[in-house]
Chains A and B, each alone.
Chain A
Amino acid sequence: MDMRLASVLILTGLLAAPHAYAAEFAPEPSGNADAIGKKRLYRSQTSLYRILALPRYALELPWYPAKRFLDFSERTDLFARATDLFYFNEAKTSGWFPKFSSGESSGGAGLSLFHHDLFKKKHQANISFSYAAEDEFFGRAAYTVDPTPDSSYYLKVESDYIRDRDIEIYTTPTPSGGPILGAKTLRSDRRSYAFTSLRGKLTAGKKMSKTVRMAAFVRGARSKAGHGAQGFAPVPTNAPGFGESVGMAGGGMELIWDFRNDPVRPFYGCLVQAHAEALGSGDSTAAGDRFAYVGHSLTAEHYFPLYDPHRTLVFRHSLRRVDPIGDKRIPFYDLPRLDENHLLRSFERNRFQDRGALSFNMEYRYPIWVTWDAFFFFDGGQSFEHYSDLHGPDFRFSEGLGIRMMSKDKLLFVTQYAHGREGGRFQVLLGQAF
């Protein structure tokens, strides 16, 4: 490229401009308009811009089949036809949905059946089950009668069946033979056990006021823990409840005090949930163990609007605790947990387990779209055997960020990334989280 070419281009530019102006009073025929004798009145500027725009047509190719599909879907109401496949009636109160799950080593699939208006009284029944590779099975049946304008009483009957041949646990045996759980465990202490459990719970409650609910419940479970199959070290055989079929039954009370402005997307208010229960096994197991314990939990969520009503600071505190009754023992799988599913979000499933679990969470939530909120969070927590074990160095922390996506009446899913001393974890939660 030299000055001669530059000069030619400059001259071209300079020559083009007056020509453009001159052309306007000399209408010229153009394109298809010429075919009908129409004289072009305007001088099009688009030629160069259309050439420059040519790369964008690269997207037209993949878009074309998508457009055809969307048009076909809209014309034939394909979406309605497809969703209707999941309902058994016109009112869409009963139907079924497939369930899918994915874990670190396996994926699963299942089915959920529901009826939300049994006897035309809004009674709800749900049955679901899922099966995953590695011989994992989960089944649940529930029947719920919610409070209505005519009745403040509510009832819930639930039953779960779990069969999993590899549940993680982090523990190491003590020299005396007993297992160590809780905050002292290392990531390398990962072990696994097989677990089968059938559980049932009947809750009967009353809506005492607009914000307060109180309920009593009875529940029972028959569970068995045995050797896992994944290749991790086994759970110490002297862990309470290991290798035995244990039947437990008991009851308790629960209280819910909810004065948040909105249960799906609260901006202010508070939710307090308290629960206490006592469970015991009727007879000694073959190993001579007798099991009985009391458990209680207290969870409080506080929502504070910051400088704007829709910017919310959330504090959550949770304490869960089980204590043996007398010299009885507690099955190790009934101990409270602290992990990615229990709001210590950067730690693996079942990472910490002990007689008590204390956690604090702080979230800052702010809206980014109509029904989307982004959030930053900070979690702290410790599992412990005695309250005297609670101290700073054994606390574990997570921090991270995420997005909550909601519809008008429910939380659809949360996607979040958490980071802590044992690395980072990315999670997508469907309809869970607080």
Chain B
Amino acid sequence: MKIKNPLLPPTILLSLCGVLSPLYSLEPLRPDNDDFNIAEPAEDEAGDYIWSDGAYYMAVYQMEKLLDLGWLLQKFRILPKQEAENIDSLDKVPDSTWFTNRHGRKRMNPAELAHGPLKQAPAPGKWTILKGKGIGINPGFLAKDHAGRLLFVKFDPAKYPGLGLNGDLIASKILHAAGYNVPEYYKFWIDPADLVLSPNATIKGKYKVKRPMTQKDLKGIIAKAPKDERGRLLANVSIGLPGKPKGPFNYLGLRKDDPNDTVRHENRRELRGLRVLMSWLNNTDSRRGNSLDMYVESADRSFLRHYLMDFSASFGSGNIHPKEVEEGHEYFFDPGTVSRSLSSAGLWVKPWERPPPVRYPEVGRYEAESFDPKRWRGAYANPAFEKMTRRDAFWGTRIVTAFTDEDIRTIVATGHFSTPGAEDYLARTLIERRDIIGKHWFALKQINPLDEFRVDGTGAQIQLRFRDLAVARSYAENATTRYQYRIGSGKNIVVSTPQIPLHGTLPGDRIRIRTSRDSGGSWGRPISLDLSADGEVKRVIRH
């Protein structure tokens, strides 16, 4: 078909852009209403299968994207990037069954950070083993303490005690402070004499066939576990989550049997922005199998709560050994990297090809030297991570950089380190990676990192105050920073402090601010604000 009117293609695009303009759907920070009473969903076991999950996201999904016209049009910048949907008018994520704003909104004190999601430690004494661990690569079992709570027990390899345990202990607390739902993880020394095998205990044996678990199986598990000089086993214990497990959530699409689930998961900001947090923690195993939906039942309502779990592949841990050099930089099989290496005839030396040696086995291969927040990769593609936009990244970076050096050291101190210097090394590396993330995603070429807008004063003294997160977190120089603002159709005015006089502003006037880091030599991306009639900031639009 020949298009006679040359104006037609741009016209269609304009029309689409009208529909696709950034949307801000809520009033500021109103909790989501995704906890309505629902019928009990069936348990979804699809996420238990890592082969098909990996094959789909590494190969099939990548090919499908080439057939996705929306993806192609976004890739070639003909359509705007599809922004996250569950955001409020201040471009933030309301509390929901997925996420609860914590440290990023209101600072947690050191005790709260160190405590994290913990409620009650496993009861010491006899534990009854109900089931041998059938999936995953660490040996372990499911047990019940004398208080009747379910305990998921797993062990690091004897050669690397603490490697995976530290990931679970520390990353779970950081992610909890960030706002995610996570299980309680405990470091626990178990006396093997306290382990009692239930007569009904089962284990998946050869060919994954379920059979009765025997003392020999238990001895086999104990033999591989790290031990202290008294023969006690260093265990990683997580407490069973409240509710009924209904299987993992997918990072793509919706859960069809959950009517509360109305935002496609790849378009949820807390899942997209999770990429920034996982890049910080170097958790390369953020996949469907490491999540869980729990059906929470109470007197007035029952609904699904969504958890992230199993962080043992965080930092430098590859679960049973330190990470390989490419982990965190490439997918397990990464056609893009392979093609680039192939076509460069070896001239492209990947920055991670020459890593520093593993200094502390308890930390594994975790460093900041080759860390690139933009191209960080997990084990295989995560659709929510792939769809992360600059606004999503800003949201995640805002949370990451909310952790001060002291916050990080407080949380890291709750890990298990037997080698002097290991704890300090992990904390320092987290601090360095946090700063690399902050400098990258708060850069003006990415976004205007202004936040925490509020209107102060009255009458002629009324002002809009805000916080420049790059300056506040020391990623930019205050002395050379300037802010250029325009109210409504007025003139551009430059100020050097993060405050704008509002006297004379009319209701409905939009305020547009741009930032410069070189005393006004060049200006970054703008940010726009709308004020309500009563003088509150009702909308923030990041361009």
Partner of A56, one of B64, B94, B324, B333: B64
**Contact call A46/B267, Cβ cutoff below 8 A:** yes
User: What are the interface flags for B333-351 relative to A under an 8 Å C-beta threshold, 1 for contact and 0 otherwise?
Assistant: 1100110011001100100
Q: How far is the CB of B200 from chain A (nearest CB, A)?
A: 22
Query: Which of the candidate stretches A9-17, A227-235, A418-426 sits at the interface with the other chain?
Result: A9-17
**Contact call B18/A37, Cβ cutoff below 8 A:** no
**Contact call A17/B52, Cβ cutoff below 8 A:** no
A60: nearest chain-B partner, CB-CB: B64
Partner of B25, one of A37, A42, A46, A48: A42
**Contact call B338/A372, Cβ cutoff below 8 A:** yes
**Contact call A38/B259, Cβ cutoff below 8 A:** yes
CA distance A20 to B24 in the complex (A): 9
**Contact call B341/A73, Cβ cutoff below 8 A:** no
Among A20, A60, A75, A376, max chain B CB count under 10 A is at A20
Report if A311-B26 is in contact (Cβ < 8 Å); known contacts: A10-B15, A46-B85, A58-B67.
Answer: no
**Contact of A133 with B by CB under 8 A:** no
**Contact call A17/B16, Cβ cutoff below 8 A:** no
Query: Which of the candidate stretches B3-11, B272-280, B373-381, B433-441 sits at the interface with the other chain?
Result: B3-11
Query: Which of the candidate stretches B31-39, B102-110, B147-155 sits at the interface with the other chain?
Result: B31-39
**Contact of B505 with A by CB under 8 A:** no
**Contact call B262/A30, Cβ cutoff below 8 A:** yes
Q: How far is the CB of A304 from chain B (nearest CB, A)?
A: 14
B207: nearest chain-A partner, CB-CB: A77
CA distance A308 to B16 in the complex (A): 49
Report if A53-B23 is in contact (Cβ < 8 Å); known contacts: A13-B16, A45-B85.
Answer: no
Report if A52-B69 is in contact (Cβ < 8 Å); known contacts: A12-B15, A369-B341.
Answer: yes
Report chain B residues within 8 Å CB of A3: 5, 7
Report chain B residues within 8 Å CB of A37: 36
Q: How far is the CB of B340 from chain A (nearest CB, A)?
A: 9
**Contact of B429 with A by CB under 8 A:** no
* Interface SS of A by simple majority: helix
Interface residues on B, range: 35 or more
Report chain B residues within 8 Å CB of A2: 4-5
CA distance A364 to B344 in the complex (A): 13
**Contact call B60/A59, Cβ cutoff below 8 A:** yes
B59: nearest chain-A partner, CB-CB: A63
**Contact of A80 with B by CB under 8 A:** yes
Partner of A9, one of B15, B30, B73: B15
**Contact call A48/B20, Cβ cutoff below 8 A:** yes
CA distance A63 to B71 in the complex (A): 20
Report chain B residues within 8 Å CB of A48: 16, 19-20, 70
Report chain B residues within 8 Å CB of A53: 68-71
Q: How far is the CB of B171 from chain A (nearest CB, A)?
A: 25
Report chain A residues within 8 Å CB of B345: 364, 366, 374, 376
Report chain B residues within 8 Å CB of A366: 341, 345-346
**Contact of B326 with A by CB under 8 A:** yes
Partner of A59, one of B63, B87, B349: B63
**Contact call A46/B208, Cβ cutoff below 8 A:** no
Report if A370-B7 is in contact (Cβ < 8 Å); known contacts: A46-B85, A308-B353.
Answer: no
CA distance A372 to B338 in the complex (A): 9
**Contact of A286 with B by CB under 8 A:** no
Q: How far is the CB of B505 from chain A (nearest CB, A)?
A: 20
Partner of A41, one of B32, B207, B353: B32
Report chain A residues within 8 Å CB of B8: 1, 5-6, 9
CA distance A71 to B44 in the complex (A): 13
Report chain B residues within 8 Å CB of A368: 338, 341-342
**Contact of A394 with B by CB under 8 A:** no
B339: nearest chain-A partner, CB-CB: A368
**Contact call A55/B68, Cβ cutoff below 8 A:** yes
**Contact of A92 with B by CB under 8 A:** no
A49: nearest chain-B partner, CB-CB: B70
A376: nearest chain-B partner, CB-CB: B345
**Contact of B264 with A by CB under 8 A:** yes
Report chain A residues within 8 Å CB of B68: 52-53, 55-56
Report chain B residues within 8 Å CB of A42: 23, 25-26, 85-87, 262-263
**Contact of B76 with A by CB under 8 A:** no
Q: How far is the CB of A35 from chain B (nearest CB, A)?
A: 6
CA distance A3 to B21 in the complex (A): 24
User: What are the interface flags for A363-397 relative to B under an 8 Å C-beta threshold, 1 for contact and 0 otherwise?
Assistant: 01011111010101000000000000000000000
4 tightest A-B contacts by CB? A366-B346, A13-B18, A13-B15, A52-B70
28 chain-A/chain-B pairs, Cβ below 8 angstroms: A1-B8, A2-B5, A9-B11, A13-B14, A13-B16, A13-B19, A21-B24, A32-B262, A37-B36, A43-B25, A45-B82, A48-B20, A49-B82, A52-B70, A53-B68, A53-B70, A58-B67, A71-B52, A74-B50, A77-B207, A308-B349, A308-B353, A311-B346, A364-B346, A367-B353, A369-B333, A369-B341, A374-B342
Q: A16-B15, A77-B207 are in contact. List 8 more A-B contacts (CB 8 A).
A: A13-B19, A33-B36, A36-B36, A38-B259, A57-B64, A58-B67, A70-B49, A374-B342
Q: Which residues of A contact B (CB under 8 A)?
A: 1-3, 5-6, 9-10, 12-17, 20-21, 24-25, 30-33, 35-46, 48-50, 52-53, 55-60, 63, 66-67, 70-71, 73-77, 80-81, 307-311, 364, 366-370, 372, 374, 376
